[in-house]
């Protein structure tokens, strides 16, 4: 697996020659929600084989080669591409005739919105799901209308455009699921991938949290290993081989994501939120949140509400 991680800031630097002319080059502030959409006719002829720390969805009209993980696939008809964050991929155009759209957004845009909450328990953007959906004429027409609308909204002055963009993007994701972004068959999965999938399903089943009366049951790598009846070293090795992240890093990332949601969308006090997430002492939760957000939970809540 590629060790190289392209950040959203790296992306804009790499394509500055495209974005500087149309005014879409944006300074993406760390920790801030970000979305952008562009026409594919301006895409690079070849993109590097990297992992990305941002989501990218492409409506592809044009021919070319995808390398996705260890697999290669030739695209010769309209397709929707929805890659997982942790899987490296590259694209090489086969012709100069490239149309369609691609939209990119960071984790804050996706995980910080209730609009996308239902998708977190589906196969979308998972390491084991198939990232390509080939489209017939009717499906292409329907998807194009949503991408057209997102592009128009993104370049408009409409005050509620962010909410409207999220609604259109959610519609695209619902269609992708309806048209069966199917999981890889179990027999095609490695032992590590099967183990990671079981861990991922357990992790996401715990969220969203409903009440401080029901705190997280599985909080550590050892907790998940015990529930899965495996040694914690085996779980850690499996997760690391698939995601290039440790089990603890993934748990902490999900915990931080849920902490932000609870601060924004509930009236629980900070101590209740920390306890529900597994922090026995409020100071431990404050330190954890400040380390990840750069600010205290209370200041984060005040700023976002």
The tally of CA atoms less than 13 A away on the side-chain side of residue 87 is 22
Instruction: For residues 83 and 268, give the distance between their C-alpha atoms in angstroms, rounded to a whole number.
Output: 35
Tokens read off for 109: 């845009």
Between CA 237 and CA 233 the distance in angstroms is 6
CB 172 within 8 A of CB 45: no
- Parse the chain into domains and list their residue ranges: 5-178, 186-304
pLDDT tens sequence for the chain (305 residues): 555 888 888 888 887 755 544 434 455 666 678 999 999 987 667 888 988 989 999 999 999 999 998 788 899 999 999 998 878 899 999 988 899 999 999 988 988 778 898 888 888 998 888 899 999 999 999 999 999 999 999 999 999 999 999 999 999 999 999 997 666 555 566 788 889 989 988 998 888 888 888 899 999 999 999 999 999 999 999 999 888 889 999 999 899 989 998 998 899 999 999 999 999 899 999 999 999 989 999 999 988 77
Q: CATH topology for 186-304?
A: Arc Repressor Mutant, subunit A (1.10.10)
Q: Is the dihedral of CA 222, 279, 211, 261 positive or negative?
A: negative
Of 178, 93, 92, residue with least CA distance to 135: 178
- CB within 8 Å of 23: residues ≥ 6 apart: none
Q: What is the pLDDT of residue 29?
A: 65
- The pLDDT score that the predictor gives to residue 5 is 83
Burial 219-251 (b: 16+ CB within 10 A, else e): eebebbbeebebebeebbebbbebbbeebeebb
Comparing C-alpha atoms, which of 286, 252, 290, 257 is closest to residue 270? 286
**Sign of the dihedral through C-alpha 278, 280, 282, 288:** negative
Rounded Cα distance, 174 and 256, in Å: 26
The pLDDT, as a whole number, for residue 18 is 56
Beta bridge partners of 66: 73, 91
CATH of domain 5-178: 2.60.120.280
At CA 222, angle to CA 221 and CA 225, rounded to 5? Answer: 90
pLDDT, position 21: 41
Please state the pTM of the whole predicted model: 0.76
């Amino acid at each position: 697996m590629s060790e190289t991680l392209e950040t959203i800031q790296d992306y804009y630097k790499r394509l500055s020659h495209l974005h500087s002319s149309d005014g879409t080059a944006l300074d993406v502030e760390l920790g801030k929600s970000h979305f952008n959409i562009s026409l594919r006719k301006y895409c690079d002829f070849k993109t590097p084989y990297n992992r990305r720390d941002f989501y990218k969805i492409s409506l592809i009209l044009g021919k070319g080669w995808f390398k996705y993980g260890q697999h290669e696939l030739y695209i010769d008809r309209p397709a929707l591409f929805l890659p997982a964050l942790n899987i490296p991929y590259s694209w090489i155009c086969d012709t100069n005739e490239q149309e369609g759209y691609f939209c990119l957004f960071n984790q804050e845009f996706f995980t910080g919105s209730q609009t996308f909450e239902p998708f977190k328990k589906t196969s979308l953007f998972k390491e084991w799901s198939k990232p390509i959906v080939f489209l017939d004429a009717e499906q292409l027409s329907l998807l194009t209308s949503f991408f057209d609308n997102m592009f128009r909204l993104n370049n408009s002055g409409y005050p509620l455009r962010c909410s409207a963009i999220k609604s259109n993007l959610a519609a695209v994701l619902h269609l992708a699921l309806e048209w069966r972004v199917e999981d890889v068959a179990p027999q095609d999965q490695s032992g590590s991938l099967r183990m990671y999938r079981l861990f991922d399903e357990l992790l996401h089943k715990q969220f969203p949290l409903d009440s401080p009366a029901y705190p997280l049951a599985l909080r550590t790598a050892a907790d998940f290993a015990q529930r899965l009846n495996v040694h914690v070293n085996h779980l850690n090795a499996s997760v690391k081989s698939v995601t290039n992240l440790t089990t603890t890093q993934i748990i902490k990332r999900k915990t931080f994501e849920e902490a932000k949601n609870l601060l924004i969308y509930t009236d629980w006090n900070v101590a209740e939120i920390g306890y529900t997430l597994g922090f026995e002492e409020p100071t431990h939760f404050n330190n954890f949140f400040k380390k990840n957000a750069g600010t205290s939970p209370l200041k984060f809540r005040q700023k976002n509400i």
